[in-house]
Amino acid sequence: MKQRFSIGGMYCAACSARVQKAVSELNGVSSAEVNLIANSMTVEYDSEKQNFVSICEAVKAAGYEAGEYVYKNSRSETKAAELKKTLCRLTASFALLLLLMYFSMQHMIGYPIPHIFHNELVMAVTQLIITVPIIILNFGYFTRGFKNLVRLSPNMDSLIALGSAASFVYSMYILIGLGLKQLGTASILPADSHLYFESAAMILTLVTLGKYLEAKGKNRTGEAVESLMRLTPKTVSVLNSDGSETVHSIAEVREGDLLVARPGEAIAVDGTVESGTSSVDTSAITGESMPQEVGPGDKVTGATMNLSGKLVYRAQRVGEDTTIAQIIHLVEEAGGSAAPISRLADRISLYFVPTVIGIAVITAAIWLIIGESFTTALNAAISVLVISCPCALGLATPAAIMAGIGAGAKNGVLVKSAAVLEMTHSIDAVVVDKTGTVTLGRPRVSEISGDCLTLAASLEHGSSHPLARAVTDYTDELGITPLEVTDFKDHPGLGIEGTLEGRHCLAGNLKLMNRFGVDFSSLTETVSRLESIGATVLLFAADGKATGVIGVKDTVKPDSREAVERMKNMGKRVIMLTGDSEGAAAAVASEVGITEYRSSVMPQDKEIVVRELQQSGSKVAMIGDGINDAPALTRADVGIAIGAGTDIAIESADIVLSGSSLTDAVTAFRLGDAVIKNIKMSLFWAFFYNSAGIPIAAGVLSGIGITLNPMIAAAAMSFSSVCVVLNALRLRRFKK
3-state SS assignment for residue 270? strand
- Give me the long-range contacts of 94-97 (CB less than 8 A, separation at least 24): 94/205, 94/209, 96/130, 96/133, 96/134, 96/201, 97/134, 97/198, 97/201, 97/202, 97/205
Strand partners of residue 272:
299, 314
Sheet holding 29-35: strands in order across?
Answer: 29-35, 40-45, 2-8, 65-68
Is 433 known to be catalytic? Answer: yes
SS (H, E, C) 692-733: HHHHHHHCCCHHHCCCCCHHHHHHHHHHHHHHHHHHHHHHHH
Name the residue type at position 674.
Answer: A
* Segments in 114-184 forming alpha helices (H): 120-137, 140-150, 156-182
Tell me how far apart the alpha carbons of residues 490 and 506 are, in angstroms, rounded to a whole number.
10
Q: Collapsing DSSP states into helix, strand and coil, what is residue 464?
A: coil
Three-state DSSP at 544 gives coil
Give the other-Cβ count within 10 Å of 614's Cβ. Answer: 15
Q: How far apart are CA 320 and CA 262, in angstroms?
A: 24
- Among candidate residues 157, 257, 433, 629, the one labeled active-site is 433
Q: What angle do CA 359, 364, 367 make, to 5 degrees?
A: 120
Rounded Cα–Cα distance for residues 214 and 202 (Å): 18
Which of 697-714 are b and which e, b meaning 16 or more Cβ less than 10 Å from the residue's Cβ? Answer: bbbeeeeeeebbbbbbbb
Phi, psi of 342 (to 5 degrees): -80, -15
**Edge-to-edge strands, sheet with 305-306:** 292-294, 278-281, 305-306
C-beta separation of 261 from 271 below 8 A: no
Q: Do you know the residue count of the chain? A: 736
Q: Report in angstroms the alpha-carbon separations of 716 from 10, 207, 353, 536.
A: 21, 10, 17, 68
**Residue type for position 1:** M
Parallel/antiparallel/unpaired status of strands 573-577 and 429-433: parallel
d(CA 736, CA 411): 6
Amino acid at 193: S
State the Cα–Cα distance between residues 400 and 397, nearest whole angstrom.
5
Q: Are 655 and 420 in contact (CB under 8 A)?
A: yes
Closest-CA residue to 621 (of 400, 339, 430): 430
The sign of the CA dihedral 608, 613, 618, 623 is negative
Residues with catalytic roles: 433
